[in-house]
């Protein structure tokens, strides 16, 4: 009987750590897949943007057509920075950028946190692909304006 209990104990002693290791490995794989999906969405978005630029089209024309002259940009990472650079010398006024993740010392723009007071604008452009619902619900509590995804702008040009 003691031998049987020893065998069961040894079995459980190796099974539990193995199951824990498998769960950790699966969690890691899931995080990598999620990041790969985000990177793919970003690649497709930037590829679409480059093609639009090669066709000679300007994002400023979208805002003018819609009657948006004063905008805010949500996110100052790669996509937000590209949007800022494209619009900074256009007729479109970038009132501020919502974000804190990048050193913005070289930018001549007001950077605010989502927790700060957000002045009125005509539209906020969300520059995080695939996160429109989350960002929109958060911003709609603080602002009474249109919120649009960068993907929608690129699809409409």
pLDDT band per the 50, 70, 90 thresholds, residue 47: very high
pLDDT at 33: 86
Q: So what CATH class is 58-156? A: alpha beta
pLDDT band per the 50, 70, 90 thresholds, residue 5: low
Using H for helix, E for strand and C for coil, what is the string for the chain? Answer: CHHHHHHHHHHHHHHHHHHHHHHHHHHHHHHHHHHHHHHHHHHHHHHHHHHHHHCCCCHHHHHHHHCCCEEEEECCCHHHHHHHHHHCCCCCEEEEEECCCCCCCCCCCCEECCCCCCCCCCEEEECCCCCHHHHHHHHHCCCCCEEEEHHHHHHHC
**Domains of the chain, residue spans:** 1-56, 58-156
Assess whether pLDDT exceeds 90 at residue 29: no
pLDDT in tens, 91-144: 999 999 988 755 555 667 788 888 888 889 999 999 987 777 788 878 888 888
pLDDT at 121: 95
pTM of the entire structure? Answer: 0.76
pLDDT in tens, 61-103: 999 999 999 999 998 888 998 999 999 899 999 999 988 755 5
């Amino acid at each position: 009987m003691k031998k049987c209990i020893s065998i069961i104990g040894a079995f459980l002693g190796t099974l539990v750590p193995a199951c824990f290791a498998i769960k950790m490995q699966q969690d890691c794989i899931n995080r990598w897949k999620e990041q790969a999906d985000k990177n793919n969405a970003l690649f497709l978005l930037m590829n679409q943007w480059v093609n639009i630029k090669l066709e000679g089209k300007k994002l400023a024309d979208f805002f003018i057509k819609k009657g948006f002259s004063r905008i805010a940009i949500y996110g100052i990472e790669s996509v937000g920075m590209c949007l800022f650079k494209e619009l900074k010398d256009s007729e479109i006024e970038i009132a501020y950028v919502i974000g804190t993740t990048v050193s913005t010392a070289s930018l001549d723009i007001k950077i605010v946190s989502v927790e700060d007071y957000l002045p009125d604008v005509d539209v906020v452009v969300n520059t995080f692909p695939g996160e429109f619902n989350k960002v929109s619900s958060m911003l709609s509590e603080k602002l009474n304006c249109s919120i649009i995804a960068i993907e929608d702008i690129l699809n409409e040009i």
